[in-house]
């Protein structure tokens, strides 16, 4: 009972930070790219009595959700088509490849298997890896975005090349880490539930 309560507390804290970090990163980049706009937003928020914490949380949540669904639509399906996803273990190869219409079925089977064997699956470790990868992806996206749109006289306008290069490098590293984690999850799933695949 105590362990379950502790897990729920840690999980709740992790979820708050999941949304706060992108919000703080956005605010930081906004201040460096549009200092006058940042000051004006800060003044409006203070005068309205709206909580800055809630604003950061709302912005961070929006960024995280947009980013996550963008990744799902693009990278997850691409990795699946390349046979690098754990979902591929639950889908039969047809006509020389993996059909997109089979992805949802394979994903649901994967989720059921993990849920039924959650004491075996190292979900905490993968949650940590995915969190780091999400943050690096979001930071790279913000760096690239604000290296394109910025205010003259701002810090970014004076260092636009470094900011853009940093964003591109971080984006490349994030893509490689995404593929790496997918492959790692695939091998972990295959080893943990090997009997199920052997019986197919």
Domain containing 134 equals: 2-198
Do residues 140 and 167 touch, judged by C-beta distance below 8 A? Answer: yes
Nearest one of 118, 106, 130, 137 to 182, comparing CA atoms: 130
Write out the two tokens for 194: 């090997």
Query: In a structure prediction context, what are the per-residue pLDDT tens digits for the chain, which is 200 residues long?
Result: 444 555 566 566 667 778 888 999 999 999 999 998 888 888 888 787 778 888 888 899 999 888 888 887 888 889 999 999 999 999 988 878 888 889 988 999 988 888 787 777 777 777 778 888 888 999 999 999 999 999 999 999 999 999 999 999 999 999 999 999 999 999 988 888 765 555 55
d(CA 139, CA 154): 19
Q: Cα 123 vs. chain centroid, distance in angstroms?
A: 15
**3-state SS class at 94:** strand
The reported pTM is 0.81
Do residues 126 and 181 touch, judged by C-beta distance below 8 A? Answer: yes
Do residues 24 and 56 touch, judged by C-beta distance below 8 A? Answer: yes
Q: Which residues neighbour 29 within 8 Å (Cβ) at sequence distance 6 or greater?
A: 142, 143, 145, 146, 156
Overall domain count for the chain: 1
DSSP tag of 84: -
Q: Which residues of the chain form beta strands (DSSP E)?
A: none
């Amino acid at each position: 009972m105590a362990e379950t309560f502790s897990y729920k507390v840690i999980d709740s804290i992790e979820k708050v930070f999941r949304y706060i970090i992108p919000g703080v990163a956005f605010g930081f980049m906004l201040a460096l790219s549009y200092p006058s706009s940042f000051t004006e937003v800060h003044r409006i928020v203070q005068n309205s009595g709206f909580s800055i914490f809630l604003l950061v949380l709302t912005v961070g949540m929006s960024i995280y959700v947009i980013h996550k669904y963008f990744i799902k639509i693009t990278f997850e399906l691409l990795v699946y088509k390349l046979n690098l996803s754990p979902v591929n273990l639950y889908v039969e190869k047809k006509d020389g490849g993996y059909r997109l219409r089979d992805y949802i079925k394979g994903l649901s089977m994967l989720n059921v298997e993990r849920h039924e064997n959650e004491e075996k699956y190292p979900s905490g470790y993968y949650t940590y890896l995915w969190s780091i990868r999400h943050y690096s992806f979001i930071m790279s996206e913000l760096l690239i975005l604000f290296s394109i749109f910025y205010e003259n006289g701002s810090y970014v306008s004076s260092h636009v090349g470094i900011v853009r290069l940093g964003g591109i490098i971080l984006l490349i590293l994030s893509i490689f880490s995404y593929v790496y984690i997918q492959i790692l999850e695939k091998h972990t799933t295959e080893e943990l539930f090997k009997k199920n695949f052997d019986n197919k």
